[in-house]
């Protein structure tokens, strides 16, 4: 697995997207492509060529799992690791995310100062 640098982040809530972007870029040092929707992520992913997908689960239109399914169909994206972000973290839901291939699930609300370390920890465990 390559070093984790490029993260494609999809979050429909502009406030959460801003906080997570600051946490991942400024604190974490990641090269981030933040998208407001699954459709925007599908447009951005091929040129950005992310090392990791960080997807909100609940979004209008194309939700996180639906976005992942479509991203998986793009060239070079079939095996890109994914982490879901959600407030829905019951055991059955966590199992459903893992069955979709998630290397981890980050619970909302998240700690902005710890977000990058959380992402890196999940990445390292999956390597």
Calculate the average pLDDT of the chain.
95
Assess if residue 84 is contained within a domain: yes
Inside any domain, residue 88: yes
**pLDDT the model gives residue 17:** 97
Confidence (pLDDT) at 34: 98
Domain range holding 50?
A: 6-126
Distance, in Å, from the CA atom of 53 to the CA atom of 1, rounded to the nearest integer, reads 14
**Tally of structural domains, the chain:** 1
**In this structure, are residues 66 and 42 in contact, taking their beta carbons and an 8 Å threshold?**
no
pLDDT at residue 90 in the model? 87
The residues pairing with 30 across neighbouring beta strands, listed in sequence order, are none
Dump pLDDT digits (tens) for 53-112.
Answer: 999 999 999 999 999 999 999 999 999 999 999 998 888 998 999 999 999 999 999 999
């Amino acid at each position: 697995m390559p070093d984790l640098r490029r993260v494609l982040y999809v979050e429909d809530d502009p406030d959460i997207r801003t906080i997570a972007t600051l946490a991942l870029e400024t604190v974490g040092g990641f090269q981030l492509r933040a998208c407001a929707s699954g459709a925007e992520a599908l447009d951005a992913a091929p040129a950005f060529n992310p090392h990791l997908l960080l997807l909100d689960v609940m979004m209008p239109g194309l939700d996180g799992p639906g976005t992942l399914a479509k991203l998986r169909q793009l060239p070079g994206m079939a095996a890109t690791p994914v982490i879901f972000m959600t407030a829905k973290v019951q055991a059955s839901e966590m199992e459903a995310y893992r069955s979709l291939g998630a290397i981890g699930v980050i619970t909302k609300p998240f700690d902005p100062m710890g977000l990058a370390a959380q992402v890196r920890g999940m990445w390292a465990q999956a390597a």
